[in-house]
Structure 1
Amino acid sequence: MRMRTVLATTTAGLAAATCLSAAGPANADANSPADHACSPSVSIDSFSDALDKTTYGGTFVGNLSALALDGDGSLAALSDRSALFTLDPQTLAPTSVVPLADESGAALDSEGLVVDRDGTRLVTSETEPSIRRYSPDGKVLDRLPVPSSLLVAPAGRAVSNQTFEGLTLLPGGHTLLASMEYAISGDSTGIVRFQTWNRTKDGHWRLGAQYAYRTDAAILGVPEVQALPDGRLLVLERGFTSGVGNTVRLYLADPRHATDTSGVENLTGQDDVHLIKKTLLADLVNCPALGATAKQPQPNPLLDNIEGMVVTGHGKGGWKVLLVSDDNQNAVQTTRFYRLTVKPGIVAEG
Structure 2
Amino acid sequence: MRTRHGVRPARVLSGGLMAAGLLLTVLPTGAVAADHPYRVRLLDTLTVPAGTTAFGMPFGGLSGLDHDRRTGTYVALSDDRSENGKARFYTLRLPVHGTAFAHDQPDVESLTVLDDVTGEPFAPKAVDPEAIRWTPGGRSLLWTSEGASNSGQPAFLREASPSGAYVRELPLPEAYAPVRSADGKLVAGVRNNQALEGLTLTPDGRKAVTVTENALVQDGPAASLTAKSPSRLLVTDRRTGKPLAEHVYEVDPVSDAPTAPLPAPVNTYSADRGVSEILAISDTDFITVERSFASGVGFAIRLYWTTTRGATDVRGEEALSGSERPMRKHLLYDFTTSGTDADNVEGITWGPTLPDGSRSLVLVSDDNFGFNSGLTKFHLLSVDRGLTKHS
Query: TM-score band (shorter)?
Result: 0.7 to 0.9
| 1:199 corresponds to 2:212 | no
Which of 349, 352, 362 pairs up with 1:322? 362
Which of 60, 63, 66 pairs up with 1:65? 63
State the one-letter code of the partner of 1:117. Answer: P
Preserved CA contact (<8 Å) 1:167 1:177: yes
State the one-letter code of the partner of 1:126. Answer: E
Q: Tell me by how many angstroms 1:53 deviates.
A: 2.5
Q: Tell me by how many angstroms 1:159 deviates.
A: 1.5
Match of 1:50 in 2: 48
Call closer, same or farther: CA 1:329–1:275 in 2, change over 3 Å: same
Counterpart Cα distance in 2 of 1:153 and 1:266: 13
Call closer, same or farther: CA 1:99–1:35 in 2, change over 3 Å: closer
Call closer, same or farther: CA 1:51–1:98 in 2, change over 3 Å: farther
Q: Deviations over 1:129-148 (max 9, x none)?
A: 11111111111011111111
TM-score (norm 1): 0.81
Call closer, same or farther: CA 1:344–1:214 in 2, change over 3 Å: farther
* 1:1-350 equivalence runs, <5 A: 25-29=22-26, 35-39=28-32, 41-50=39-48, 52-70=50-68, 71-81=70-80, 82-90=87-95, 91=103, 92-104=106-118, 105=120, 106-107=122-123, 108-119=127-138, 120-127=140-147, 128-154=154-180, 156-189=188-221, 190-200=229-239, 204-217=240-253, 219-229=272-282, 231-270=284-323, 273-289=324-340, 302-315=341-354, 316=356, 318-331=358-371, 332-345=373-386
Match of 1:14 in 2: none
Unaligned runs of 5+ in 1: 1-23, 290-301
Counterpart Cα distance in 2 of 1:153 and 1:313: 43
Q: Which has the higher contact order (CA 8 A, sep 6+)?
A: 1
**Which runs of at least 4 in structure 1 moved beyond 6 Å after TM superposition?**
none
State the one-letter code of the partner of 1:26. Answer: L
Instruction: Tell me the SS of whatever aligns to 1:281.
Output: strand
The CA RMSD measured in Å over matched residues stands at: 2.1
Instruction: Tell me the SS of whatever aligns to 2:142.
Output: strand
Counterpart Cα distance in 2 of 1:335 and 1:199: 31
Counterpart Cα distance in 2 of 1:116 and 1:341: 24
How many residue pairs match? The answer is 305
Counterpart Cα distance in 2 of 1:342 and 1:51: 28
Identity score, percent: 31
Q: Tell me by how many angstroms 1:342 deviates.
A: 2.3
Counterpart Cα distance in 2 of 1:150 and 1:103: 20
Greater mean deviation of Cα atoms: 91-100 or 224-233? 224-233
Counterpart Cα distance in 1 of 2:321 and 2:352: 37
Preserved CA contact (<8 Å) 1:237 1:250: yes
Counterpart Cα distance in 2 of 1:258 and 1:25: 44
Call closer, same or farther: CA 1:51–1:96 in 2, change over 3 Å: farther
